[in-house]
Structure 1
Amino acid sequence: MSVRPNILFLLPDQLRPDFLGCYGAGFLKTPAIDALAAQGTRWQTAISPSPICVPARASMLTGQHAHSTGIMHNLCWLRPDRHLMGIRTWPEILATEGYRTSAIGKMHFYPWDLSEGFQHRVIAEDKRHIYVRDDYHHALAAEGFAKLHGKEMAGYDDTKGACANPLPDHLQPDRWVAHRAADHIRNLQGDQPFAMMVGFPGPHCPYDPPADALGRVDPATMPTPLPRTAESETHMAAHVAAYKRDWADIDYATLTEDQVRAIRHHYAVSVERLDEDVALLIETLRETDRLNNTIVVFASDHGDYLGDFGLMGKGFFHEPSIRVPLIVSDFRAPEARVETAPASLLDLFPSFLNWAGAASVPQAQGRCLSDLDADRHIVGATSGGFMLRTSRWKLVRYGNGTEALFDLVIDPGEQANVIDANPMVRVQLDAALTKSLLKGFATSNADKNVPEAKSPPDGRFHDPFWQRPYPASSVRP
């Protein structure tokens, strides 16, 4: 085997950490994921700074804040001329270092079949993009099936998203992705190190495990949701409007206790099945004699409210939306450890480069996971608002005019907005937030820079018909 480690990056979609055994969930069983935590490092607090699918993934891919990439919502993507700006993705960088790079499953690129540096792709876009004719579409069609909207599944309307997927087990989205990833591992030849990202479409809504799996978790054991607050109610109108659109076609203006319990039950069952898919991949690494030289990373792009605050999905900056699991198991030297210093998804980019032996690059705005501190500020941005989070405080500001400050030590459930009672904390966090936002916006607009405007007298800038180079680099060497 190569001295350099293989990297297996497992990324379920919309997975909150408190639905995993190793994060304290006693109502379901996740032995494979728990085993990763038992022989690696588990971050107690890992944050998705931009808790929306596409912004989070663009940030992980480039190592940059959403307010630097400009990807602030789900209907945009990285600019196609980013190479001219000096921006490379982590798979591109690792490929130049001699890694074989692959992406299996959901990536959420636009176009959906874009490579973004991955040399090999097998594509299964998310369960809401049912018209994408990807590899999963063709696999279904070959057996006489098709992707389904949630409304075509039993229970979807009555329980507002909790339904039963009628597809055969081997064609269930996450399971199909897991088997394609296992096939790819088995087909690898030689000692060339690999960097492989596996994007599971679940447990993202619709919450659609197969009906015969529902008995494996007791719905009565589901944890109760956090109560609504005056602050969370200010987001309700936008939340309801988003889910009424065709992609979901659900009215979340009301949500009963029974519906929340059913949603959480289906979600928990999906997580248990995901754990089996993780077990398959770990066992495949072991069978192919690759496990002992592999670093396995397990994370998610954002969390899921699952009825907390009366909300579903993600998008705002409450803890159920921004908190994600983060586990790194280096099978070259297994060691159980719990890290309390907060991590950001932006930290994955420099960590991938570091593990591969690649030089750091100036575009990276996160830190290596081996170099975190408890006092860091984590800044978040989406098209809806901004956040600054420390180990104790969280300041949020939204475009709807809502402003809030939460003391996460005293009030981890974010039930009390204490912004008026803590003016000095507000000022300090606001200054740090403003500094980060200004730096990020400068980076996102660096393509328009004209450094030649400061040319010496003999520079070509002063000549007639001089043409401005575009785009300018967004990073400085």
Structure 2
Amino acid sequence: MKYELSAIERPHVVWISCDQLRADWLGVNGHPVVMTPQIDELAYEGINFQAAFSECPTCVPARRIMMTGLNSYGIQMNKNRETQPFTEGPKLAELMTRSGYQTFAAGKLHTSPKRNRIGFEDVQLNEEGRRDHVTWKDDYEQFLDDNGWGHMRYTHGLGNNEYGIRMEPLPERFTSTHWTAQKAMEFIERRDPTRPFFLHVSFDKPHPPISPLQSYYELYRDAVMPEPVRGDWVDNKLPNRVRYLQLRHNYDQWRQHPLMVQQTLKGYAASVTHIDSSIGVLLGTLREHKLLDKTLIVFTSDHGDNLFDHGAFAKGDFFRGSTNIPYIIRPPKHWDNEAGLSVTRGKNDKGTPVALMDVMPTILEACGIPVPEQVEGRSLVPQLLGDPGRLREYTCGNCGTVFGLTDGQTKYIWFSDEDLELLFDVQGDPSECHDLSDDPAYRSMLELSRSRLADWLEKHGDPHARNGQLLPIPYDWQLDKAHATTSWNNRGRH
């Protein structure tokens, strides 16, 4: 099916991204407590891809995948390497700028070096205190210092990957969430009206430290958050990687204090609702400037957070909490009104295994910009315009020692360091509580998943596969030496 988008006025683009937001913590995706009315509205006006998959669920590689349309092999990174130079080749913002778009980013980019704009004409940067030999302060830190609040930024006392909760020590207008949205709105106010714009709004929350504003935490003070789930496979198949993170995060003590878990989950919810409210103000600014109807809006996250499900923490594996991300695309309304296209709206797509590498080609095609040949992602524009064709059969990912594969119906996870595998029916068992890898009824699906993953690995020259077989490579997690840590990786670190 051919879509003549080149004949339509090019849309503006707002790409909103969160850090460590899992898909099922949105109201539209069924969370019984969390309030996200603004994000939910975007889903009602577009397509909500509920089977979305972060193919390398940790910060730096996930963001590079979105910016390049390449998988983890293409960006030559499958875990956080903060000082690795950015992959050569065309990047999303670079191509948008070359095509005449006014391009601006507000918030977190997580590039190297820190001031690498990766093609944006201008950036207002928040790197959560990370510094290198070139950049001593990001724009958010400078803003706090200029207004006399820099000394208060870390007085909650939590590390940048630490769980637990403390209230935000800064007034709302000085929080990173408010600042990021404010810089985006200032761009809208000051933009060049003769050019279409590409605006990237990148929130650094709800990534820990979990330090919500008191006013947003009060919304959930009396709420009872759903307890973390625990699979029937945990007692006899707990991966060493999960146990290592349990020790690093003092989980054995946490299990004795369920109130700490409840407070942490409420704090995470409060941070999500704060972002949602800020998105509402941003959308209002677009509406006031008569821009909203001609704007393509993409809402994603780089990865999720396990949030104690199955005793797991943070991200970096392919359990639901870590890899299943929000992925909402709201097409511009002038596609309906002016072009007469058959635009799909209000659809919950529960089975298409979309991936982060699809962000770049989707935005480019929607704007009538050619997609570079080396891009491995697929454009979702056909889905937005009612094409029933299948995007792909399955999506693969790898992150450190862990590999994952999903076709939107089932998910296969392989911990290569100990040759441990799990298979889940993600439609019938979305919480991934029942491992099917030893079930004879799913033997053929298990073998197919193994074969598909091995083919993908061999295609990219990965030593974890040869002649169609998966090859485990041992890794010593040194569990006897693992201990609790505050996991600082921001303040004062180069």
Q: TM-score range by the shorter chain?
A: 0.7 to 0.9
Q: Which residue of 2 aligns with 1:470?
A: none
Q: Which residue of 2 aligns with 1:313?
A: 314
Name the count of aligned residue pairs.
428
Which residue of structure 1 lines up, in the alignment, with residue 118 of structure 2?
A: 116
Q: Which of 408, 414, 417 pairs up with 2:432? A: 414
Q: Paired residue for 1:337?
A: 347
CA drift at 1:414: 2.0
Instruction: Indicate the SS of the match to 2:414.
Output: strand
Q: Secondary structure at the match of 1:163?
A: coil
AA in 2 matched with 1:125: E
Match of 1:25 in 2: 31
Letter matched to residue 238 of structure 1: Y
- Contact 1:50 1:381 (C-alpha < 8 Å) held by counterparts: yes
What's the CA shift string for 1:162-201, capped at 9, x where partnerless?
1111111111111111101110111002221111111101
1:221 is paired with a residue whose SS is coil
Change (3 A) 1:298 1:409: closer
Amino acid at match of 2:320: E
The answer for the alignment partner of 1:428 in structure 2 is 448
CA–CA separation in structure 2 for the residues paired with 1:395 and 1:175: 39
Match of 2:417 among 393, 400, 418: 400
- Within the alignment, does 1:137 sit opposite 2:151 as a pair? no
Contact 2:378 2:391 in 1 (8 A): no
User: 1:44-83 alignment to 2 at 5 Å?
Assistant: 44-76=50-82, 79=85, 82-83=87-88
TM-score (norm 1): 0.83
For the residues of structure 2 that align with 1:382 and 1:354, how far apart are their CA atoms?
29
Q: Is the 8 A contact 2:415 2:421 kept in 1?
A: yes
Q: What are structure 1's unaligned runs of at least 5 residues?
A: 245-249, 443-477
Partner in structure 1 of residue 393 of structure 2: 376
Compute the RMSD of aligned alpha carbons.
2.5
The 8 Å contact of residues 14 and 296 in structure 2, kept in 1 or not, is answered as: yes
Specify which of 356, 372, 375 is matched with residue 361 of structure 1.
Answer: 372
Whether the 8 Å CA contact 2:229–2:431 is kept in 1: the answer is yes
Change (3 A) 1:96 1:156: closer
From 6, 18, 21, the equivalent of 1:15 is 21
Query: 2:202 matched to 1:182?
Result: no
- C-alpha distance after superposition, 1:190-245 (max 9, x if no partner): 2211111111010111111122332112453211111151334533333146xx4x
State the alpha-carbon separation in 2 of the partners of residues 302 and 155 from structure 1: 21
> Relative to structure 1, is the Cα distance of residues 129 and 309 closer, same or farther in structure 2, using a 3 angstrom cutoff?
farther
SS in 2 for 1:3: coil
SS of 2:452's equivalent?
Answer: helix
Report the CA distance between 1:329 and its aligned residue: 1.3
Q: What percentage of residue pairs aligned between the two structures are identical? A: 29
Q: Tell which deviates more after alignment, 215-224 or 295-304.
A: 215-224
For the Cα contact (< 8 Å) 1:406–1:417, is it kept in 2?
A: yes
Paired residue for 1:437?
A: 457
Equivalent residue runs for 1:154-173 within 5 Å: 160-173=163-176
Other-structure match for 1:93: 95
Residue 468 (structure 2) aligns with: none
Give the aligned residue type for 2:250. D
For 1:91 and 1:417, locate their aligned partners in 2 and report how far apart those are by CA, in whole Å: 41
Counterparts of residues 119-268 of structure 1 (less than 5 Å): 119-126=121-128, 133-146=137-150, 152-153=155-156, 160-227=163-230, 229=234, 230-240=236-246, 244=248, 250-256=249-255, 257-268=258-269
Cα displacement string for residues 298-322 of structure 1 (whole angstroms, at most 9, x for unaligned residues)? 1111111111111221111101111
The CA distance in 2 between the partners of 1:149 and 1:171, in whole Å, is: 9
Which deviates further from its counterpart, 4-13 or 186-195?
186-195
CA distance in 1, matches of 2:150, 2:44: 39
Q: TM-score, structure 2 length as denominator?
A: 0.81
CA–CA separation in structure 2 for the residues paired with 1:149 and 1:238: 30
SS in structure 2 at match of 1:324: coil
Distance 1:185 1:147, change over 3 A: farther
> Which residue type is aligned with residue 351 of structure 1?
T
- Amino acid of the residue matched to residue 91 of structure 2? T
* Structure 2 residue runs without a partner (length 5+): 1-7, 337-342, 383-388, 463-494
